[in-house]
Amino acid sequence: MENEKKQIAFSAIQPSGTITLGNYLGAIRNWVTMQDEYNCIYALADLHTITVRQDPAQMRKNILDAYASILACGIDTEKSLFFIQSHVHTHAEMAWVLDCYTQFGELSRMTQFKDKSAKHADNINAGLFTYPSLMAGDILLYQADKVPVGADQQQHIEITRDIATRFNGLYGNVFKIPEGFIPKNGARVMSLQDPTKKMSKSDENVNGCVHLLDSPEAIMRKFKRAITDSEAHVHYGEGKDGINNLMGIYSTITGLSFEQIEHDFEGKGYGDFKTAVGEAVVEELRPIRERYESYIKDKAYLEECYRKADEIALKISSRTMNKVMKKIGFIL
Ligand code: AQP
């Protein structure tokens, strides 16, 4: 996949549950479209998932399910690298090094740390706190130019840039300073049950989150139950978080502008609109679910794909890792 003229795109996703419509619209759709223009390197960030306690059998299943799901979304292993983070030991090594170049104060400001520690008050572990330096290492190891992510990751991209700039300031030009690549549409898909909160894999309210592998019936049911407001007028506006979110999803999938959507649903109620959004999502996800069903049956093929990618990822990332170790003063 390496082509020297192309820029490098790197991104990763945690296999912490079934991939959501938010993950798909915010990140994975861009991963797919970037494959021709960039040298794309993608990872399943399984090391990140253990910041929250995981059941071992469920975790193994989630990893394979996520791998198959992302192939089903259209990641082509002939064009892009798609590997498993824990299989490439440079990630854990780089995370330790970068921990030592990251300040306690800047980690304390991360909103994801604050949110997740409030959600998992019984397990506020050091890994949850230092998560951004592991993520910075993921990106910097590959000298990435662009990082396609949803809007919730903006702060982690900023800290990655700060860590890289600090390191380069001490040792010369070691890391490329990456830029976030956040889509105009779909960057922040909200929960269908609480549209002030982002849609998350780990949402306990099953109706709040649409999963890539949900059946058409489940998707329709979730959209029909989506929280809206009492106005019954499809338009984008303040205090209309539920409708704004549905319009965002619909616009991202259909490519229609908000003005066009408002025009098309003039005089129609929320019921019609929710049905239209549900149907658009069902049709968008249908081929993905079908392809997933065939990938997940072929574990040998999945293993062949990730083993090959793991090996190449180790080779590429070792170049940066060795450079970093030498600059710091380690004897190699
Ligand atoms: N709701 C969202 N809208 C748009 N983009 C989103 N992303 C996540 N949620 C939304 C983007 O998906 C990519 C992978 O995310 P991740 O799995 O690495 O971490 P996350 O942001 O913590 O995802 P979840 O679904 O909320 O997982 P849990 O519940 O385990 O914490 C990222 O690019 C992210 O921006």
Nearest ligand 1 atom to the CA of 48 is 18
Q: Among 14, 46, 70, 190, which is best to mutate for testing ligand 1, by the most ligand atoms less than 8 A from CB? A: 14
Cα distance between residue 37 and residue 118, in whole Å: 40
Ligand 1: centre distance to CA 191 (Å): 12
pLDDT tens digit sequence for 284-304: 999 999 999 999 999 999 999
Nearest ligand 1 atom to the CA of 199 is 1
Ligand 1: centre distance to CA 231 (Å): 31
Confidence of residue 204 (pLDDT cuts 50, 70, 90): confident
- pLDDT at position 232, please? 85
201 is catalytic: yes
Q: Provide residues with CB under 6 Å of ligand 1.
A: 13-14, 16-17, 20, 22-23, 25-27, 45, 149-150, 152-153, 187-189, 198-202
6 is catalytic: no
Residue 218 per-residue DSSP state = H
Residue 122 has pLDDT above 60, yes or no: yes
Q: Among 138, 189, 194, 200, which is best to mutate for testing ligand 1, by the most ligand atoms less than 8 A from CB? A: 200
297 is catalytic: no
Nearest ligand 1 atom to the CA of 17 is 30
Q: What are phi and psi of 218, to 5 degrees?
A: -65, -40
Question: CA-CA distances (angstroms) from residue 8 to 38, 179, 281?
Answer: 6, 11, 30
Residue 95 has pLDDT above 90, yes or no: yes
Token couple for 118? 């409030």
Nearest protein Cα to ligand 1, atom 7: 23
Q: Going edge to edge, which strands form the sheet with 81-84?
A: 81-84, 39-44, 8-13, 146-148, 179-181
| Mean pLDDT along residues 80-88 | 98
The mean pLDDT of the chain is: 96
Contact 187, 151 (CB under 8 A): yes
Nearest ligand 1 atom to the CA of 23 is 12
Distance of CA 76 to the CA centre of its chain: 17
Contact 144, 178 (CB under 8 A): yes
- pLDDT at position 203, please? 85
Ligand 1: centre distance to CA 150 (Å): 7
Contact 156, 109 (CB under 8 A): no
Give the bridge partners for 198, in sequence order: 190
Ligand 1: centre distance to CA 305 (Å): 24
Token couple for 226? 């989506």
- pLDDT at position 2, please? 52
Which of 5, 119, 184, 198 is the catalytic position? 198
Residue 3 has pLDDT above 80, yes or no: no
Ligand 1: centre distance to CA 156 (Å): 12
- pLDDT at position 311, please? 98
| Mean pLDDT along residues 21-49 | 97
- pLDDT at position 4, please? 60
Contact 196, 238 (CB under 8 A): no
Ligand 1: centre distance to CA 149 (Å): 8
Confidence of residue 120 (pLDDT cuts 50, 70, 90): confident
Query: Residue 264, exposed/middle/buried by CB under 10 A (0-12, 13-18, 19+)?
Result: middle
Ligand 1: centre distance to CA 53 (Å): 17
Q: Among 23, 70, 212, which is best to mutate for testing ligand 1, by the most ligand atoms less than 8 A from CB? A: 23
- pLDDT at position 1, please? 54
Residue 263 has pLDDT above 80, yes or no: yes
pLDDT tens digit sequence for 182-197: 999 899 999 999 999 9
Positive/negative CA dihedral, 192, 57, 80, 162: positive
Q: What are phi and psi of 13, to 5 degrees?
A: -140, 140
Contact 170, 182 (CB under 8 A): no
**H helix runs in 43-198, sequence order:** 46-49, 56-73, 90-99, 104-108, 111-119, 126-140, 154-171
Which of 146, 201, 222, 240 is the catalytic position? 201
Contact 275, 223 (CB under 8 A): yes
Question: CA-CA distances (angstroms) from residue 142 to 45, 288, 313, 322?
Answer: 15, 28, 8, 12
- pLDDT at position 73, please? 98
Give kind and range of the element (H or E) at residue 323: helix 299-328
| Mean pLDDT along residues 225-232 | 92
| Mean pLDDT along residues 74-83 | 97
Which of 61, 79, 114, 116 is the catalytic position? 116
Residue 116 has pLDDT above 60, yes or no: yes
Residue 163 has pLDDT above 70, yes or no: yes
Gyration radius of the chain over CA positions: 20
- pLDDT at position 5, please? 82
